[in-house]
Amino acid sequence: MLDLVRRYVPVLDWGRRYDRNAFSNDMIAAVIVTIMLIPQSLAYALLAGLPPEAGIYASIAPIILYAIFGTSRALAVGPVAVVSLMTAAAVGQIAETGTMGYALAALTLAMLSGAILLVMGIFRLGFLANFLSHPVIAGFITASGILIASSQLKHILGISAGGHTLVEIVHSLVTHVSETNPITLVIGVVATAFLFWVRKGLKPLLRKLGAGPRLADIATKAGPVAAVFVSTLAVWWLGLAEKGVKIVGDVPQSLPPLTMPSFSPELLTTLAVPALLISIIGFVESISVAQTLAAKKRQRIDPDQELIGLGAANLGAAFTGGYPVTGGFARSVVNFDAGAETPAAGAFTAMGLAIAAVALTPLVYFLPTATLAATIVVAVLSLVDLSILKKTWGYSRADFVAVAATILLTLGFGVEVGVSAGVVLSIGLHLYKTSRPHVAEVGLVPGTQHFRNINRHAVETHPELVTLRVDESLYFVNARFLEDLIQNRVAEGSRVRNVVLMCSAVNEIDYSALESLEAINRRLADLGIGLHLSEVKGPVMDRLKVTHFLDELNGKVFLAQYDAWVALAGAAGSKAAE
């Protein structure tokens, strides 16, 4: 019982060994992360179409719940760019931004995501995330980055625009571009340029000035805080809000409120598919970050427990005014680099954010949204990596097709269509590849007991014997292929008396393939041709033994292919391949 509790609540494990040293390291990390998270949380809430405080609320309860249930020591949970975009896409279909219905739908989406993640964790369904191939994820993240960056241009131009696909966004921008507010544009462009410079130029500069690498790193990450501070000050000082510069405005001074998601069956049904996609994308993003950081310290991540941790975090977001969250790359890396030792660092960060929510929100009243948009643009453009197209093109056409389709469909039809199509396509391409496995007709390398492809090597063959080596497991997708192949091969060579299937690369034979083998056996028997197997692996043979196939087999099972050759071609003469 206690073991079960401990399995699902990892805090009981590391919490008992918590000491003063770990405490002070966690505390320092928490302060750094808190400062960095404030502008980021406000910005992602803006991206999700929610009021700015939602981003802060979504960082508090989720962080604490993840600290209790998660297994990663360094993962920082909260709003992230891609999930915020997916939230906007899902919720935007059912309510107008800024309405009560919109916020309610976002809470409901978080609740559904949390429930899905929790169920997946309890039933140990973490493997479902594996159905997303790396190229599909890479393509999806790149396309999302482009969508997010272009969706933020409206804030930098100071205009109202919308759209969930690239065409819609660009069309909307072009329609409204004449309404551009020049001062907003200046703020937006300066902030963007500054943030790009911080990313590219500040770190080398600091290093040159003699700063340590860790300090230089953290100073670089603090760029958005500086941009927020300066632009807020400028707007307040110069009274730019009266000149049409959009500002964040009133943010309630309050701890995260208790909120109630909707349980309307209609809303739940509408949001089910988006919630599933958000859960899986969020899980994949989170687990890769967690794995990368854990590996550096030889720590272990339990993917199924991670699902439970993220599920709890999302349920927490649903009931405390947030929206769907996951483990973010940028914030986790800061947390890790700042020296966080245990999930307690997350809890301290949550406290810092809670204090900020209560005490500091008036300070962001004059913060221009253009600055927040600039932080988003600069952050997401680092996600855009079109080199994946070139890399996959060189390595495998199937992977290239999957990544290209995912990018185009995400840009053209939005995030949900893009990622779904990517998954379906990569599974389809995999099945297609295995549906036409490599099959080599083999012959004996003279003077040895080895068998090689007759088309590539000078080997001995026998006119009455055909030996086929199948380089793939036999299962339903390629079962008929094998039937056709053998039927055609036998129809060609009417002198053939025996067919040997060499099974050294066959890791499995499923029921469909078994029936195909039975059909092949019956058809060959009708023609007076023997069917033999060789080099069948142990587990495959164990399965075949419980069926009638071996009794009905119109031939033998040979342990080694050479035994088959000796038995079937040895007695008669053999001829060298021309």
Q: Which of residues 463-522 bind its own copies (CB under 8 A)?
A: 471-473, 475-481, 483-484, 487-488, 490-491, 494, 505, 507-508, 510-512, 514-516, 519
Shortest distance, position 48 Cβ to its own copies, whole Å: 28
Do the beta carbons of residue 488 and residue 525 sit within 8 Å? no
What's the closest the beta carbon of residue 301 comes to its own copies, in angstroms? 8
User: Which among 6-14, 46-54, 147-155, 288-296 is the span making contact with its own copies, rule CB under 8 A?
Assistant: 288-296
Q: Is 543 in the site for its own copies (CB under 8 A)?
A: yes
Measured in degrees and rounded to the nearest 5, phi and psi for residue 134 equal -55, -45
* Beta carbon of residue 153, minimum distance to its own copies (angstroms, whole number): 32
Residue whose CB is less far from its own copies, 108 or 426: 426
Binding test (CB under 8 A) with its own copies, winner from 129, 147, 425, 439: 129
Smallest separation, CB 453 to its own copies (Å):
10
φ, ψ dihedrals at 555, nearest 5°? 170, -160
Q: Which stretch binds its own copies (CB under 8 A): 49-57, 128-136, 378-386, 558-566?
A: 128-136
Options 167, 295, 559, 576; binder of its own copies; rule CB under 8 A: 295
> Dihedral sign, CA of 53, 55, 57, 59?
negative
Pairing of strands 530-534, 498-502: parallel
Give the nearer residue to its own copies in terms of CB position, either 264 or 507.
507
- C-beta of 6 vs 438, nearer to its own copies: 438
Shortest spacing between CB 171 and its own copies, in angstroms = 25
Three-state DSSP class for residue 57:
helix
Quote the CA–CA distance of 335 and 346 in Å, as a whole number: 8
For the CB of residue 335, give the shortest distance to its own copies in the complex, in Å.
19
Q: Are 323 and 50 in contact (CB under 8 A)?
A: yes
For its own copies, give the closer residue by CB, 174 or 272: 272
The residue among 186 and 505 lying less far from its own copies, judged by its C-beta, is 505
String of DSSP letters for 470-511: E-S-B-HHHHHHHHHHHHHHHHH-TT--EEEEE-TT---B-H
Please, what is the minimum distance in Å from the beta carbon of residue 285 to its own copies?
Answer: 13
Can you tell me the distance from the alpha carbon of 365 to that of 239, in angstroms, rounded to the nearest whole number? 12
Listed ranges 7-15, 133-141, 328-336, 356-364: which one lies at the site for its own copies (CB under 8 A): 133-141
Q: Residue 460 or residue 510: which is nearer to its own copies going by CB?
A: 510
Are the CB atoms for 123 and 156 separated by under 8 Å? no
Could you give the dihedral angle defined by the CA atoms of residues 403, 404, 410 and 412, in that order, rounded to the nearest 10 degrees?
-170
Q: Which of residues 389-448 bind its own copies (CB under 8 A)?
A: 391-392, 394-396, 398-399, 426-427, 430-438
Which segment (169-177, 298-306, 328-336, 556-564) binds its own copies by CB under 8 A? 298-306
Query: What count of other Cβ atoms lies within 10 Å of the Cβ of residue 339?
Result: 16
**With respect to its own copies, which residue has the nearer C-beta, 27 or 544?**
544
- Tell the smallest beta-carbon distance from residue 139 to its own copies (Å): 11
Q: Choose between 190 and 505: whose C-beta lies nearer to its own copies.
A: 505
- Site track 189-228 with its own copies (rule: CB under 8 A), x = hit: ----------------------------------------
Q: Which is nearer to its own copies, 115 or 427 (CB)?
A: 427
381 binds its own copies (CB under 8 A): no
CB of 295 to its own copies, least distance (A): 4
Residue 544 to residue 214: CA distance in whole angstroms:
61
The burial class, CB within 10 Å (0-12 / 13-18 / 19+), for 203 is: middle
| By the rule CB under 8 A, 131 interacts with its own copies | yes
- Rounded distance between C-alpha atoms, residue 535 and residue 551, angstroms: 18
Residue from 40, 133, 181, 498 that binds its own copies (CB under 8 A)? 133
Alpha carbon distance 77, 317 (integer Å): 11
Please report the beta strands in 250-381, taking only residues with DSSP state E, as ranges in sequence order: 326-327
Query: What is the residue-wise DSSP string for 194-209?
Result: HHHHIIIIIHHHHHHT
Cα-Cα-Cα-Cα torsion 62, 64, 66, 67, nearest 10 degrees, comes to: 160
Q: Cβ closer to its own copies: 203 or 430?
A: 430
Element counts in the chain: helices (H) and strands (E) = 25, 10
Confirm or reject binding of residue 262 to its own copies (CB under 8 A): no
- In single-letter form, the type of residue at position 158 comes to G
The count of other CB atoms within 10 Å of the CB of residue 526 is 9
We find the least distance from the C-beta atom of residue 408 to its own copies, in angstroms, to be 18
Instruction: Work out whether 272 is an interface residue with its own copies (CB under 8 A).
Output: no
What lies within 8 Å, CB to CB, of 496 at 6+ separation is 463, 464, 465, 466, 489, 490, 529
Antiparallel, parallel or unpaired: β 326-327 and 460-461: unpaired
Smallest gap from residue 294 Cβ to its own copies (A): 8
Closest to its own copies by CB, 190 or 519 = 519
Q: How far is the CB of 86 from its own copies (least distance, A)?
A: 21
Compare residues 17 and 456 and give the one whose CB is closer to its own copies.
456
Minimum distance of its own copies from residue 477's CB (angstroms) = 5
Q: Is the C-alpha dihedral spanning 283, 288, 293, 295 positive or negative? A: positive
User: Closer to its own copies at the Cβ: 232 or 279?
Assistant: 279
Residue choice 92, 135, 327, 346 for contact with its own copies (CB under 8 A): 135
- Residues numbered 34-73 forming contacts with its own copies, rule: CB under 8 A: none
Q: Which is nearer to its own copies, 351 or 384 (CB)?
A: 384
CB 380 within 8 A of CB 153: no
# of chain residues touching its own copies (CB under 8 A): 73
Dihedral over Cα of 242, 244, 245, 247: its sign: positive
Q: How far is the CB of 207 from its own copies (least distance, A)?
A: 22
